[in-house]
Chain A
């Protein structure tokens, strides 16, 4: 069993610097879990506590059923890929990958076998005698992966492994990583600040902000049912539209329109959210918005309209065939199934 549990984990550097706050999450065996959040929110710290590189202030981290709080990093049966790759610059690719095995006092033939099979998987066969500085960024990244693979660890930890690659390579490697996950059948915990990476790779996503875990769920769940305003705004590009509304019973009134809510909510101030694709060029009788269009972006498959509805900035993603020019006022329909409403005070979602 190589599930991982963060059981109410806290990381405090000093009395007033708490970087991870009461984190609880269970990561299942063989799962690809992505920890995502803006820079500085404590993702790396959370990962490094699991790796054994940072002490745990409060709570427990379990790998399988074993509490690892006081287990040395090398004995946790984990492997980690660093953002900088952390390749030993003076060792060849082979030696880099062999190093952890040598440290485990493995026999030479076995080391050889494992390094070769890993390098085959990663397509590094021809570079084994090179030093890291003679490799391209993508190759270095694969050596870092290889060094993790050879140990056949129970859990793979990856801290922003793609952020030093160019966009094209990043796309390819994303796919390769997913393939690797299927082949190795091991638990992956992947840290990134890029929500696209998170959405495309994760079996489940854990979204963090300011040291607090916001929501854990499949990409579909967090996209369709964000638990709060932060998650709603963080996931998805272009970002969700937010319009302040006043609610009374099951209707909401914004500065530029008024609509019926699918569910009754307490009267008061709220924040209405809807994604750009919830707007269509077909005005419906349920809710029609008049949008003063400022900018039109045609991307071939998509057409984005940026403009104002009443006093609120709104983005719409509409059929590219719709004819609209900057300065026009477009009549758009709003799909009520795509509506979210958040409490203005607590920022949690009503629906």
Chain B
């Protein structure tokens, strides 16, 4: 071993040679810190996860960590109870969340892409001023807008959940929420996409112009296909934000079970269930399924989107 190591002084220390061991020992504190911190970070989630598989009696009288001493007590009854129709409306809320999130994602992303294109590649008076105003609106608290929008909905359009449901048109009760999410999501959407579009090489646009491509062709056949990474990250962002949103949903559709999303339902459960808090753990985990799937499968895009939006800006 040592001979071989001596014979190749330039290569890194051979495995299990004294130097290798020394190198790796000195890195132990680092690994311990990294793994320790990560584990600590996971404790809250793991605690809830373990709790969600414990019966009410266990949850109420002992900590989740004691359950491992007695694994036979694990049960899925919390999940079966919370998912059974009637008690919690979780199924309806789950569907509602989809009905809210999909259009409330498509609208701001597409309309934002339309708007970002001229901001990046057309010249028109007021362009820079408008863009600056959009950047400013990124910081405006949504709370500022609720009262006028709500009273316009209710007093002028008569868009209350009851009225809209009474029309019998499917999907209509969520229109107020879709539009609101579109309005709220647009500044970020335009900001991120315009920055991305602007970074595309101008040669491509000029080449396309000479090739005879019109505005629509350039947009749909060149800009959009090249912007898939930005569009994907924006879609994930907006989808997660809408899916996880509590405040906007609470304001515009309130707690009506037939239209309220999972977050509102879950927040309602925290007060209504009271002692049935064992069900809450299962409900909470149920509510995380979709965002976690979206997040884990598209994590790369999500991270890239964050970076495009904040570091470059």
Query: Direct contact between A and B in the complex (CB less than 8 angstroms)?
Result: yes
By a beta-carbon cutoff of 8 Å, the part of chain A in contact with chain B is: 48, 51-53, 73-74, 78-80, 82-86, 88-90, 99-100, 103-104, 147, 151
Contacts of B212 in A (CB 8 A): 74, 100, 103-104
Q: Which residue of A lies closest to B201 (CB)?
A: A84
A103 CA to B209 CA, complexed, in Å: 10
Q: A51-B210, A99-B208 are in contact. List 19 more A-B contacts (CB 8 A).
A: A51-B206, A52-B209, A73-B206, A73-B210, A74-B210, A74-B211, A74-B212, A78-B210, A86-B201, A86-B206, A86-B207, A88-B204, A88-B222, A90-B226, A100-B211, A103-B217, A147-B207, A147-B211, A151-B211
Q: Which of B203, B206, B210, B222 has the most C-beta atoms of chain A within 10 angstroms of its own C-beta?
A: B210
B residues 175-217 in Cβ contact with A at 8 Å = 201, 203-204, 206-213, 217
Kindly provide the distance from the CB of A321 to the nearest chain B CB, expressed in whole angstroms: 49
Contacts of A48 in B (CB 8 A): 206
Kindly provide the distance from the CB of A223 to the nearest chain B CB, expressed in whole angstroms: 33
CB <8 Å contact, B213 and A103: yes
By a beta-carbon cutoff of 8 Å, the part of chain B in contact with chain A is: 201, 203-204, 206-213, 217, 222, 225-226
CB <8 Å contact, B226 and A80: no
Contacts of B225 in A (CB 8 A): 90
A88 CA to B207 CA, complexed, in Å: 9
For the complex, would chain B's binding face be called helix, strand, loop or mixed by DSSP majority?
helix
CB <8 Å contact, B210 and A89: no
Q: Can you identify 27 A-B contacts, CB atoms within 8 angstroms?
A: A48-B206, A51-B206, A53-B210, A73-B206, A73-B210, A74-B209, A74-B213, A80-B206, A80-B207, A83-B203, A84-B201, A84-B203, A86-B201, A86-B203, A88-B204, A88-B207, A89-B226, A90-B222, A90-B226, A99-B213, A100-B211, A100-B212, A103-B211, A103-B212, A103-B217, A147-B207, A147-B211
Kindly provide the distance from the CB of B139 to the nearest chain A CB, expressed in whole angstroms: 35
Contacts of B207 in A (CB 8 A): 80, 82, 86, 88, 147
Contacts of A74 in B (CB 8 A): 209-213
Kindly provide the distance from the CB of B123 to the nearest chain A CB, expressed in whole angstroms: 12
Contacts of B208 in A (CB 8 A): 88, 99
Contacts of A86 in B (CB 8 A): 201, 203-204, 206-207
A86 CA to B204 CA, complexed, in Å: 5
Kindly provide the distance from the CB of B220 to the nearest chain A CB, expressed in whole angstroms: 12
CB <8 Å contact, A53 and B211: no
A73 CA to B209 CA, complexed, in Å: 7
Contacts of A51 in B (CB 8 A): 206, 210
Contacts of B222 in A (CB 8 A): 88, 90
Kindly provide the distance from the CB of B19 to the nearest chain A CB, expressed in whole angstroms: 42
Q: Which residue of A lies closest to B228 (CB)?
A: A90
A90 CA to B211 CA, complexed, in Å: 16
CB <8 Å contact, A80 and B210: yes
A60 CA to B288 CA, complexed, in Å: 66
Contacts of B204 in A (CB 8 A): 86, 88
Kindly provide the distance from the CB of B232 to the nearest chain A CB, expressed in whole angstroms: 14
A85 CA to B204 CA, complexed, in Å: 9
Kindly provide the distance from the CB of A54 to the nearest chain B CB, expressed in whole angstroms: 10
Contacts of B201 in A (CB 8 A): 84, 86
Given A84-B203, A86-B204, A88-B222, A99-B210 contact (CB < 8 Å): no
A298 CA to B239 CA, complexed, in Å: 71
Kindly provide the distance from the CB of B221 to the nearest chain A CB, expressed in whole angstroms: 8
Contacts of A85 in B (CB 8 A): 203
A192 CA to B206 CA, complexed, in Å: 19
A50 CA to B302 CA, complexed, in Å: 44
A83 CA to B225 CA, complexed, in Å: 23
Contacts of B226 in A (CB 8 A): 89-90
Q: Which residue of B lies closest to A74 (CB)?
A: B212
A254 CA to B212 CA, complexed, in Å: 60
Contacts of A80 in B (CB 8 A): 206-207, 210
